[in-house]
């Protein structure tokens, strides 16, 4: 059921078995696992059911490293969390992503990929995508084949798209509303986590509304599920007993911030103007699952070259003034009762491309969707998504500035390493080799990639993937949480979400967030004796 | 939105180079039989091939030398020595083998088969 802290008297004390702070993908997934079980769950959500400017402003912070999205833009603070603007891209991490790689400092998860296999399968259904297979042979069809890469060099990585993207707050709201043993407390901001005098047991959570109502939670288990920026903030702010913050005895909370750097890094000029690229150039449906294929370096190649994970998708040039896309822009704008962004251009393209409009409207089907005509006289641009090397200097810290609740805001210092750049360079050389070997084109680096080992253009941005800041390790000196996502040195405090990733691979994080949340829920069921 | 270091001019150059030099050799865009000494004249876009060749030669530590280049690229040597009707096919094969073996050179940002780079170097040497 849903309750609202604004409707409660100051001083309210809520007792529960499990308190989950944050109602995003991780928090909602865990809470749902306890519906109908003899366990009381309280989900504490800062926002309401809809976005609110004042609450969203609590996310404001400083960018002090590489340019990044504004911190109150890159995430959403209301029920459903950042799934409310999720793009829906899904793929599981690979075996190599969990491994300790001698060439990647601080790499290695305390669990293997197989520990998540069954959870990934369930996660696929929760994010509402297709079956848990990512073998490109399964997904190609007559129109969309994939390059016959040498498997020790490159692979075709399948991404399944949740389409429309599953907004957890919308899709699972009714489940939680009906649940007798799960309460969702809205408009309740966590001010800090209380602990015992040795900071080994989390006792509860202090809460406040923006209007001044104060309350507290007493819980047997506390789960911090606030995302990769806010989870470390909350641990750092919980410093009444442990001056450095809970779980921060080794100065790791907030460090090792990881993203997936996104940027165009080179061009492929096709010497084969045929249809070979369609599987990489187009999103397409297969068995009602929307697929996007990208190219990636294989695990063997990463090991042989000593590189991080690399992937890129094709930005294949199309005839610039195609009529049907313009028609779609205009139609969508009408449907949403909003002024189109480029109305004059769209109208012109539609009028001068009526044939293409007709093809798009009448010549397509759900299984054979429209694609604009390609123009391979221009190079295919490679839009790259990289794995980052874990770096303790890439971090989130508290600043002196305070938010409306009086809590210190954060600064994000996003940094890169030489391995990041070297990985990009070597991975792209492999791309050049493979497309040359296949006889379909020649690859050219963008100049900045070869310029040096350290610099990155300001245009490089992230994917709104905030990871690594409460990293997982069996060793308390190398990680904030252990393999069960429990904060080292604490009996009953857990972190859920991508903050716990010690490394990130190159695939999008949400599917793994959900899989790890399911695994944590199973751990807690065992802890409470209801497995 | 996405950054691009290639403006229209560099894109035209990129196109000229690839279609003229590398792809020209690859796709059999050879205008007439290819005796070794005349290889450079066979490119559709000779200036672009020369430019690639000059860049490649500039990256070498040793003094540029036709015989040394051919000695360093036996597959190219064999292709250029083949009967003229087989030149294009042998060039394609040499290039494919280079790529398969990872025998590549990065020249002016392009990832080229060594045979391609050496062919361009021969063109530049005249």
HEC assignment per residue over A204-250:
EEEEECCCCCEEEEEEEEEEECCHHHHHHHHHHHCCCCCCCCCCCCC
Nearest CA in chain A to B94: A437
Within an 8 Å CB–CB cutoff, is residue B57 touching chain A? no
Residue B119 touches chain A, beta carbons under 8 Å: no
Interchain CB contacts (distance < 8 Å): A and B: 92
**Digit-coded pLDDT (tens) for A265-274:** 999 999 999 9
Q: Cα–Cα–Cα angle for A441, A375, A329, nearest 5°?
A: 135
Q: Give the pairing of strands A262-270 and A380-386.
A: antiparallel
Closest-CA distance, A109 to chain B, in angstroms, reads: 32
Instruction: Return the SS3 of A175.
Output: helix
Contacts of A51 (CB under 8 A, 6+ apart): A76, A77, A78, A84
pLDDT attached to residue B2: 37
Bridge-based pairing of strands A380-386 and A441-445 is unpaired
Q: What is the pLDDT of residue A319?
A: 84
Neighbours of A368 (CB within 10 A): 12
Q: List CB contacts of A309: < 8 A, sequence separation 6 or more.
A: A94, A96, A97, A296, A297, A302, A386, A387, A505, A506
pLDDT at B43: 58
Q: How confident is the model at residue B15 (pLDDT cuts 50, 70, 90)?
A: very low
**pLDDT at res. B86:** 85
Chain B's closest residue to A460, CA to CA, is B3
- The pLDDT, as a whole number, for residue A336 is 85
Q: Given an 8 Å threshold on Cβ–Cβ distance, is B100 in contact with A446? A: no
CB-nearest to B15 from A264, A269, A437 is: A269
In the block, residue with structure tokens 């012109």: A348
- What are the two backbone dihedrals, phi and then psi, of residue B51, each rounded to the nearest 5 degrees? -65, -45
Q: Is pLDDT of B17 > 50?
A: no
Residue B30: the pLDDT is 35
Asked if A267 is an interface residue toward chain B (Cβ–Cβ < 8 A), one would say: yes
Q: Is the pLDDT of residue B8 over 50?
A: no
Q: Does A457 touch chain B (CB under 8 A)?
A: yes
Q: Which chain B residues are Cβ-neighbours of A444 within 8 angstroms?
A: 14, 18, 108-111
pLDDT score of B28: 37
In the predicted structure, residue B41 carries a pLDDT above the cut 60: no
- pLDDT, residue B32, reads 31
Helices (H), A317-362: 323-335, 343-352, 354-362
Any CB–CB contact under 8 A between B6 and chain A?
A: yes
Residue with tokens 């090792």: A256
Q: What does the pLDDT look like over A62-73, one tens digit per residue?
A: 999 999 999 999
* Residue ranges for chain A with pLDDT beneath 70: 366-367
pLDDT at B44: 63
């Amino acid at each position: 059921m849903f309750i609202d802290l604004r409707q409660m008297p100051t001083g309210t004390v809520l007792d529960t078995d499990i308190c989950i702070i944050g109602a995003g993908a991780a928090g909602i997934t865990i809470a749902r696992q306890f519906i109908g079980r003899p366990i009381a769950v309280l989900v504490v959500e800062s926002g309401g059911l809809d976005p609110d400017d004042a609450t969203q402003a609590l996310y404001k912070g400083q960018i002090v490293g590489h340019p990044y999205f504004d911190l109150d833009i890159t995430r959403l603070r209301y029920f459903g969390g950042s799934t409310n603007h999720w793009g829906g891209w899904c793929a599981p991490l690979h075996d190599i992503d969990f491994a300790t790689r001698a060439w990647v400092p601080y790499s290695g998860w305390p669990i293997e990929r197989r520990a998540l296999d069954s959870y990934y399968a369930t996660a696929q259904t929760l994010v509402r995508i297709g079956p848990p297979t990512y073998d490109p042979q399964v997904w190609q069809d007559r129109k969309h084949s994939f390059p016959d890469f040498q498997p020790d060099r490159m692979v075709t990585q399948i991404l399944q798209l949740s389409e429309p993207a599953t907004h957890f707050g919308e899709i699972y709201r009714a489940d939680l509303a009906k649940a007798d043993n799960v309460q969702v407390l809205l408009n309740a901001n966590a001010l800090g986590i209380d602990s015992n005098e040795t900071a080994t047991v989390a006792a509860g959570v202090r809460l406040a509304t923006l209007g001044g109502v104060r309350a507290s939670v007493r819980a047997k288990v506390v789960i911090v599920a606030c995302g990769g920026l806010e989870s470390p903030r909350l641990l750092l702010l919980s410093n009444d007993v442990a001056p450095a913050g809970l779980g921060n005895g080794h100065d790791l909370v907030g460090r090792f911030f990881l993203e997936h750097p996104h940027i165009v890094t080179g061009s492929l000029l096709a010497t084969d103007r045929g249809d070979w690229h369609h599987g990489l150039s187009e999103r397409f449906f297969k068995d009602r699952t929307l697929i996007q294929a990208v190219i990636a370096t294989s695990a063997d190649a990463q090991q042989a070259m000593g590189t991080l994970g690399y992937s890129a998708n094709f930005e294949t040039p199309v005839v610039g003034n195609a009529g049907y896309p313009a028609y779609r822009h205009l139609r969508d704008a009408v449907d949403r009762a909003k002024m189109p962004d480029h109305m004059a251009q769209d109208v012109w393209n539609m009028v001068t491309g009526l044939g293409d409009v007709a093809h798009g409207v009448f010549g397509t089907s759900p299984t054979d969707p429209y694609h604009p005509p390609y123009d391979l006289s221009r190079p295919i641009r490679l839009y790259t998504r990289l794995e980052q090397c874990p770096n303790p200097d890439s971090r989130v810290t508290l600043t002196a500035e305070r938010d409306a609740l009086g809590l210190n805001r954060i600064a994000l210092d996003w940094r890169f390493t030489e391995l990041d750049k070297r990985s990009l360079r070597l991975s792209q050389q492999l791309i050049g080799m493979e497309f040359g070997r296949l006889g379909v084109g020649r690859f050219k680096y963008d100049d900045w990639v070869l310029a040096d080992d350290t610099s990155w253009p300001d245009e490089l941005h992230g994917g709104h993937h905030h990871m690594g800041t409460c990293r997982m390790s069996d060793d308390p000196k190398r990680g904030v949480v252990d393999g069960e996502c429990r904060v080292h040195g604490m009996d009953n405090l857990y972190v859920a979400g991508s903050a716990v990733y010690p490394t990130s691979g190159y695939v999008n994080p949400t599917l793994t967030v959900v899989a790890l949340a399911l695994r944590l829920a199973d751990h807690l069921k065992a802890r409470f004796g209801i497995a | 939105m996405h950054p691009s270091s290639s403006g229209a001019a560099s894109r035209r150059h990129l196109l000229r180079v690839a279609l003229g030099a590398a792809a020209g050799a690859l796709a059999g865009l050879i205008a007439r039989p290819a005796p070794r000494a005349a290889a450079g004249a066979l490119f559709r876009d000779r200036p672009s091939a020369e430019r690639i060749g000059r860049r490649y030669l500039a990256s070498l530590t040793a003094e540029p030398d036709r015989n040394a280049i051919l000695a360093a690229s036996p597959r190219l040597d064999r292709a250029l020595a083949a009967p003229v009707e087989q030149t294009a096919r042998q060039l394609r094969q040499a290039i494919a083998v280079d790529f398969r073996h990872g025998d590549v050179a990065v020249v002016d940002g392009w990832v080229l088969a060594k045979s391609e780079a050496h062919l361009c170097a021969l063109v530049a040497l005249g």
